[in-house]
């Protein structure tokens, strides 16, 4: 019953946090105002800026920030024991991650939907803007290069997930058309799309669908990487209402339904045990079979600081500031919705990470297939977590969660094949939504960087012509094509030391992936820095961001320096990895120096206001003092 108590206790903890700490931030600190001007309305272009209901924005935001991070991170961090992993997820998500996401969303809303990089240039200085955008550009390039490999790997392991993920696209386009053009209410088409998705999962291994899935699962990784990046280009340039919003909303329904099923299965397993084993006998008892603490697992790095970069998305992730300020802030139609979207989504992700921990530490014990038959209890745990090397690798991480969570579903009476397929679709869907959102975010970053270096001349050969070659990158198609081509070129490389061939290519993202965890968490610390400056200039409380900011600047930098020493001392050092890591660290140190020098002079001094909108003479930001009225 301990496993069930943890699951239900964490759910209650998150609900209480949302209605206490989250409400305090919304009403007393940020003073969300239902009458505040919103970027989605002021700048409505029916493409990127589109006023949208909060439930749809929540679906987009949650599925975009989650990705595979809250799955693969906790699935390997439990090597240090389930207690440290659980504590970091619970307290990290409430007091650090949700505050980070919420803060980035609010300050973007109050700056006409600008990204955190652009805001950094105004609340600190223009040099910081270029530094921050450069860091974002490198981080997103890694994400785009690696996620094709992630999705391809999931498809190879769980072929039944392929068709359900593909069918989401036409379902989303149809739903978007019905909502936008036919003005049909959201509930009916989304529930119909969800039902079709689940039918595709149930019958995914039968007849033609099964053959279709098996055929595509044998594709080389490079095929998937190129196809997915091409899809990302299409998704990035289309209006958000046509594909991004409906796809993410349908995905969020599917994902939340899957989480509810996992929780129900956990309850069933706690009271009745797991599904009967093939050998017969009593149903296996649900218990935490992993160690509570394991400070020095075989082959693992030290728990401090690596626990805090291994579990990223489940506690805090710097990538989230891009989603908050890059896409979600351009869609909310009411400022008071920001608490649900910014704070609530992160708590939902924290609960997902909690269920991942329980799946890996208790669900596996209900039975997995081993070399000598079905293994249960501690033997099942040791089969996956005998050493750090045994638990590493995408297949091992994802497999531990999928098998453990599938065991919970089997306790409800669902067939094993369908249970595994449902969890495989969940993982692949999370990864896919992160990929297309990351491509749109990279487009924004490239456009913002390019606009910095494009100099408009007073006299040009003919009106409307700009001879600066970078001007093409200020166009959404030019910026997106550049992002996709760069990510494709990186992804097309083989793993270092392997000769290039069509079968070995597609794994180039792994070249820089080892540095992403630390860099991503450092990005969270830098985002806190921007939020803190925005508050500081308004003489508002900053302690609630200052403490997590220091924490998220020190521990990731410590981890990155630790990793650099290992990379430099390797028998075959990777010069590209070392070089990019040093550049990234240098840019972040430079940004911190700029911030330290500016901090004493910034208190109470508002940054330069945004220029008035066309047709408006009002340059001031509307007051936000209604105390949290609802729309």
286 domain residue, yes or no:
yes
Distance CA 486, CA 497 (A): 21
Token readout for 623 is: 């007051």
Distance CA 332, CA 621 (A): 17
Low-confidence ranges of the chain (pLDDT < 70): 455-467, 615-630
The whole-number pLDDT of residue 630 equals 54
Q: Cis peptide leading into 609, omega within 30 of 0?
A: no
CA dihedral of 432, 433, 436, 439, whole degrees rounded to 10: -110
Question: Is 629 exposed, middle or buried (CB count within 10 Å of its CB: 0-12, 13-18, 19+)?
Answer: middle
Distance CA 235, CA 147 (A): 15
Measure CA 151 to chain center: 14
Helices (H), 238-373: 244-272, 303-310, 319-326, 338, 345-358
Domain span at 239 = 2-453+469-602
Question: Is 607 exposed, middle or buried (CB count within 10 Å of its CB: 0-12, 13-18, 19+)?
Answer: middle
458 domain residue, yes or no:
no
Distance CA 440, CA 324 (A): 13
Q: Cis peptide leading into 101, omega within 30 of 0?
A: no
Residue 245: closest CA among 197, 315, 189: 189
Strand positions, DSSP E, 430-520: none
Side-chain half-sphere of 74: how many Cα atoms within 13 Å? 33
For 205, the 3-state DSSP assignment is coil
The whole-number pLDDT of residue 466 equals 57
463 domain residue, yes or no:
no
Token readout for 567 is: 């990379």
According to DSSP, residue 299 is labeled T
The DSSP bridge partners found for residue 373 are 370
464 domain residue, yes or no:
no
List the CATH number of the domain containing 60: 1.20.1740.10
End-to-end CA distance of the chain: 42
224 domain residue, yes or no:
yes
Measure CA 575 to chain center: 28
Q: Is the dihedral of CA 597, 312, 340, 234 positive or negative?
A: positive
The whole-number pLDDT of residue 458 equals 43
How many structural domains does the chain have? 1
Distance CA 316, CA 553 (A): 12
DSSP code per residue over 47-90: SS---B-HHHHHHHHHHHHHTTHHHHHHHHHGGG-HHHHHHHHH
For 27, the 3-state DSSP assignment is helix
622 domain residue, yes or no:
no
371 domain residue, yes or no:
yes
Side-chain half-sphere of 573: how many Cα atoms within 13 Å? 13
Token readout for 27 is: 């009403």
Question: Is 106 exposed, middle or buried (CB count within 10 Å of its CB: 0-12, 13-18, 19+)?
Answer: buried
Among all chains, which residue has been given the structure tokens 């397929």?
421
Sequence-distant (≥ 6) Cβ neighbours of residue 346 within 8 angstroms? 65, 93, 97, 98, 100, 101, 102, 320
3-state DSSP percent of the chain in helix, strand and coil, to 5: 70, 0, 30
The whole-number pLDDT of residue 617 equals 41
The whole-number pLDDT of residue 618 equals 41
Question: Do 215 and 162 contact (CB within 8 A), yes or no?
Answer: no
460 domain residue, yes or no:
no
Q: State pTM to two decimals.
A: 0.93
Distance CA 565, CA 581 (A): 11
The whole-number pLDDT of residue 160 equals 87
Between helix 98-109 and helix 116-123 the angle, nearest 10°, is 70
For 606, the 3-state DSSP assignment is coil
The whole-number pLDDT of residue 626 equals 44
**What count of residues does the chain have?**
631
Question: Do 450 and 470 contact (CB within 8 A), yes or no?
Answer: yes
Distance CA 589, CA 618 (A): 37
């Amino acid at each position: 019953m301990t496993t069930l108590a943890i699951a239900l206790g964490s759910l209650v903890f998150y609900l209480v946090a949302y209605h206490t700490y989250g409400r305090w931030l919304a009403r007393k600190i940020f003073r969300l105002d239902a009458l505040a001007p919103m970027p989605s309305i002021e700048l409505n272009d029916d493409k990127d800026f589109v006023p949208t209901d909060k439930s749809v924005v929540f679906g987009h935001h949650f599925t975009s920030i989650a990705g595979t991070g809250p799955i693969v991170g906790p699935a390997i961090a439990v090597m240090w024991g389930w207690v440290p992993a659980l504590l970091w997820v619970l307290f990290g998500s409430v007091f650090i991650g949700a505050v980070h996401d919420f803060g980035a969303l609010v300050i973007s809303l109050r700056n006409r939907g600008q990204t955190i990089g652009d805001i950094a240039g105004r609340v600190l200085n223009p040099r910081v803007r270029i530094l921050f955008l450069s860091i974002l550009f490198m981080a997103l390039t890694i994400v785009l290069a690696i996620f094709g490999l992630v999705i391809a790997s999931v498809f190879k392991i769980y072929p039944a997930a392929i068709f359900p993920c593909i069918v989401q696209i036409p379902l989303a386009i149809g739903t978007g058309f019905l909502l936008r053009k036919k003005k049909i209410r959201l509930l009916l088409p989304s529930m119909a799309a969800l039902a079709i998705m689940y039918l595709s999962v149930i019958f995914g291994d039968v007849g033609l669908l099964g053959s279709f899935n098996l055929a595509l699962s044998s594709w080389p990784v490079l095929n998937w990487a190129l196809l997915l990046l091409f899809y990302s280009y299409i998704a990035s340039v289309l209006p958000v209402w046509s594909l991004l919003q409906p796809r993410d909303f349908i995905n969020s329904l599917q994902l939340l339904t899957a989480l509810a099923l996992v929780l129900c299965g956990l309850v069933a397993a706690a009271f009745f045990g797991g599904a009967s084993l093939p050998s017969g006998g009593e149903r296996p008892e649900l218990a935490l079979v992993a160690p509570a603490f394991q400070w020095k697992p075989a082959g693992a790095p030290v728990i401090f600081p690596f626990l805090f970069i291994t579990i990223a998305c489940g506690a805090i992730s710097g990538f989230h500031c891009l989603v908050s300020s890059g896409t979600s802030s351009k869609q909310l139609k009411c400022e008071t919705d920001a608490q649900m979207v910014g704070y609530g989504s992160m708590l939902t992700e924290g609960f997902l990470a909690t269920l991942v921990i329980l799946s890996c530490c208790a669900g596996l014990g209900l039975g997995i297939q081993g070399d000598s038959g079905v293994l249960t209890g501690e033997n099942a745990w040791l089969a996956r977590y005998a050493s750090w090397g045994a638990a590493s690798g995408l297949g091992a991480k994802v497999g531990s969660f999928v098998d453990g969570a599938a065991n919970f579903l089997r306790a409800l009476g669902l067939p094993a094949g369908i249970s595994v397929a449902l969890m495989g679709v969940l993982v692949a869907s999370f990864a896919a939504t992160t990929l297309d959102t990351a491509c749109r975010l990279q487009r924004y970053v490239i456009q913002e960087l390019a606009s910095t270096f494009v100099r408009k001349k007073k006299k040009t050969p003919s009106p409307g012509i700009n001879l600066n070659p970078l001007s093409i990158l200020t166009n959404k198609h030019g910026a997106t094509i550049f992002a996709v081509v760069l990510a494709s070129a990186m992804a097309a490389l083989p793993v270092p030391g392997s000769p290039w061939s069509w079968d070995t290519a597609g794994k180039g993202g792994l070249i820089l992936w080892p540095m992403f965890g630390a860099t991503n968490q450092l990005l969270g610390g830098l985002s806190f820095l921007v939020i803190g400056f925005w508050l500081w200039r308004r003489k508002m409380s900053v302690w609630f961001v200052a403490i997590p900011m220091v924490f998220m600047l020190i521990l990731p930098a410590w981890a990155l320096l630790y990793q650099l020493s290992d990379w430099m001392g390797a028998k075959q050092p990777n010069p590209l990895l070392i070089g990019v890591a040093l550049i990234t660290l240098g840019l972040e140190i430079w940004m911190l120096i700029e911030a330290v020098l500016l901090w004493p002079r910034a208190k109470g001094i508002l940054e330069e206001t945004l220029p008035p909108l066309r047709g408006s003479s009002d340059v001031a930001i509307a007051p936000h003092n209604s105390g949290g009225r609802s729309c």
